Amino acid sequence: MTLKKFTDKDIILNTMRAYPEARFLIFDGKVYYNSIPDQSGAISADVYCVPQGHISLYEYNIDRVINRGIPGEPTTAKSIYPFITKQSAGASFRTAGKISYTNEFVYGDILTSSYPMSASITREYLPTAGQRDTIINTHTGESTAGAPIYSHYWALKNRLNFYGTLSEHYKVSSSYDFGHLSVRTDRDPWNKDNQTINLISIPSIFFGTKINPGTLSLKWYFTGSLIGELQDSKQNGELIEVVGNNTGSVAGVVMYNEGFILLTGSWNLGDGAPSIPIKADGTSDRPKWIYFAAGALDGVTQATAGADFVSASFDLSFKGQTDTQVMTMFTHARRGEINYSNNPTYIKYDQTKVIVSSSTTYQENPNKLIANTTTSSYQGFDNDFKRQVYISRVALYDENKNLIGIATLSNPVLKKEDEDIAIKLKLDI
């Protein structure tokens, strides 16, 4: 076995960037991801064992009755689930809360979780985004502001202001006068705390590192006809109406790195589109951006809103961005090198291997011949011997000569004595 050291020129590190496309169709209280239809299995109602419109994180349990890790329940369950023993390191599952983990489990207890883990987009309708509970002092009767009602919005407020340098529209409150720029001047200035916000959350598994700026498109369909479309055409997070009654207006912002869309556009869409039941409480309104994606796991269905809810459908599409670090290594088999194999068949068959073997001496045969592997074009004729090997794999070692990786060639490569060969290895990290 020959060990060769990499030089500085032999190793290249770079980043491979990919842009996975994601498309969500929201209709009738259901989410369809990348046009994947419902697939029923032979054993479970959904072959992926996840709710409709979700993706399975590992796609571990395919077409099974899911076992939630509770002994004996259900009896027919045969699915993969993880478990862990409580130890001093404190490792646990998210399903076991901090207090529960401390109080309900002793060291040595087994904590279980379940697969599959699933993810999908979620819509939250926030009528007054900054609303807080009211706390009344029972002694004095004074009322003070309590905890926020919509904690998800409050968690984003700092980040929204942080992106205020990209666009004024990110800012939670602004007194900037858009009158000379915007079609609609009646919305300036604003305070998002007092606005109705349509918050759409996109898990990062759908986009990777970030949503690729300039690729976002939101389409509002009414009875199958496109009545409004938003795009982030400026690539600065502003969602600008490109189809509709107020083209050029900003109807919301997108947080590319975090995967949140906040829509505040509350003007009517579509000429003459009537009111339809679009809220979970069954109340009706005309199509607006604040109702975009109604039915995306927000409790709005035909049952809660009304039969005409099916007039609305929505299309949300974007491209994500994934960065994969790639290590490229060039291994060289130069002429005069890598010309011997340790494979037992490299030596000619049926030769004396040991010429002396006694209690004091062990001597191998120094005249063993290498098998002639050169091919001949003629039957019954052996070509002249040439020193050559077939390279079938390349092993990678660390500085302590620990084997840390093996690259196997799809086909063995012939390495002749007078040839240089470079084998390129790629390792995605």
Partner 1 sequence: MPNQFQPFNLNTDITSTKTLLHEAIPLTGAIYAFGTGSYIEENIKNFAHGQFQSVYDYPYLSSSANHIFDLTVAYDETSDLSASTSIQNAKKINMYNQMTQVLLGYSKDTGEVVQKFESDLNINNDDNYMTSVFLINLSRLITKDQIKKGSFTMKLATGSWVDATTAGEIITLTDTSASADSGTATVMGGDYGLLYQQGPIKEPTVYGLVFYQAGVVVLTASLFQNDLDDTLQKDFSDQLGDLSQNQKTVREALTGSTISASCNALRHRICDISFNNTTEINSNIYFCRVPWNRFNYSTNPTYVSGAQIQVKNLASDTPISYVTTIGLYNSAGELLATAKLSEPLRKDPTNELTLRVRLDY
Q: Closest CB to partner 1 among 115 and 125?
A: 115
Taking the complex as a whole, the smallest distance from the CB of residue 344 to partner 1 amounts, in Å, to 8
Q: Closest CB to partner 1 among 90 and 141?
A: 90
Taking the complex as a whole, the smallest distance from the CB of residue 81 to partner 1 amounts, in Å, to 5
Taking the complex as a whole, the smallest distance from the CB of residue 63 to partner 1 amounts, in Å, to 7
Interface map 336-355 toward partner 1 (x if CB under 8 A): --------------------
Residue keyed to tokens 């700092």: 158
Cβ neighbors of 199 (< 8 A, separation 6 or more) are 123, 124, 125, 126, 129, 150, 152, 153, 260, 261, 262
Size of the site for partner 1 (CB under 8 A): 25
Residue 23, Cβ density class (10 Å: 0-12 exposed, 13-18 middle, ≥19 buried): middle
Integer CA distances (angstroms), 193 to 91, 154, 190, 382, in order:
38, 9, 9, 88
Q: Closest CB to partner 1 among 27 and 154?
A: 154
Taking the complex as a whole, the smallest distance from the CB of residue 229 to partner 1 amounts, in Å, to 31
Taking the complex as a whole, the smallest distance from the CB of residue 34 to partner 1 amounts, in Å, to 12
d(CA 331, CA 409): 13
d(CA 208, CA 257): 9
Residue keyed to tokens 């349509």: 198
Residue type, 413: V
d(CA 109, CA 103): 12
Taking the complex as a whole, the smallest distance from the CB of residue 67 to partner 1 amounts, in Å, to 8
Q: Closest CB to partner 1 among 47 and 280?
A: 47
Taking the complex as a whole, the smallest distance from the CB of residue 91 to partner 1 amounts, in Å, to 4
Q: Closest CB to partner 1 among 48 and 309?
A: 48
Residue keyed to tokens 């070509």: 383
d(CA 14, CA 58): 27
Token pair, residue 40, equals: 């029923």
Contacts made by residues 408-415, CB under 8 angstroms, sequence distance 24+: 414/388, 414/389, 414/390, 415/333, 415/338, 415/339, 415/388, 415/389, 415/390, 415/391
Task: Considering only the stretches 16-24, 42-50, 208-216, 256-264, report the one whose residues sit in contact with partner 1 under the rule CB under 8 A.
Answer: 42-50
Q: Closest CB to partner 1 among 85 and 185?
A: 85
β-sheet bridge partners, residue 289: none
Closest CA to 317 of 19, 22, 8: 22
Integer CA distances (angstroms), 27 to 85, 231, 278, 311, in order:
43, 20, 12, 9
Taking the complex as a whole, the smallest distance from the CB of residue 59 to partner 1 amounts, in Å, to 5
Q: Closest CB to partner 1 among 80 and 409?
A: 80
Interface map 192-221 toward partner 1 (x if CB under 8 A): ------------------------------
Q: Closest CB to partner 1 among 69 and 295?
A: 69
Q: Closest CB to partner 1 among 5 and 98?
A: 98
Taking the complex as a whole, the smallest distance from the CB of residue 47 to partner 1 amounts, in Å, to 7
Taking the complex as a whole, the smallest distance from the CB of residue 107 to partner 1 amounts, in Å, to 12
Closest CA to 219 of 241, 234, 250: 241
Is the bond leading into 82 cis (omega within 30 degrees of zero)?
no
Interface map 277-296 toward partner 1 (x if CB under 8 A): --------------------
366 touching partner 1, by CB under 8 A = no
Cβ neighbors of 174 (< 8 A, separation 6 or more) are 168, 188, 189, 190
Q: Closest CB to partner 1 among 84 and 414?
A: 84
Interface map 144-183 toward partner 1 (x if CB under 8 A): ----------------------------------------
Q: Which of residues 59-118 bind partner 1 (CB under 8 A)?
A: 59-60, 62-64, 67, 69, 78-85, 87-91, 98
CB contact at 8 A, 193 and 173? yes
Among 48, 260, 309, 318, binds partner 1 (CB under 8 A): 48
Integer CA distances (angstroms), 187 to 84, 197, 227, 231, in order:
54, 14, 21, 20
Q: Closest CB to partner 1 among 113 and 388?
A: 113
Among 10, 32, 47, 157, binds partner 1 (CB under 8 A): 47
Among 18, 43, 355, 422, binds partner 1 (CB under 8 A): 43
Taking the complex as a whole, the smallest distance from the CB of residue 294 to partner 1 amounts, in Å, to 30
Closest CA to 370 of 393, 351, 392: 351
Can you give the binding site for partner 1, defined by CB under 8 A?
Answer: 42-43, 47-48, 59-60, 62-64, 67, 69, 78-85, 87-91, 98
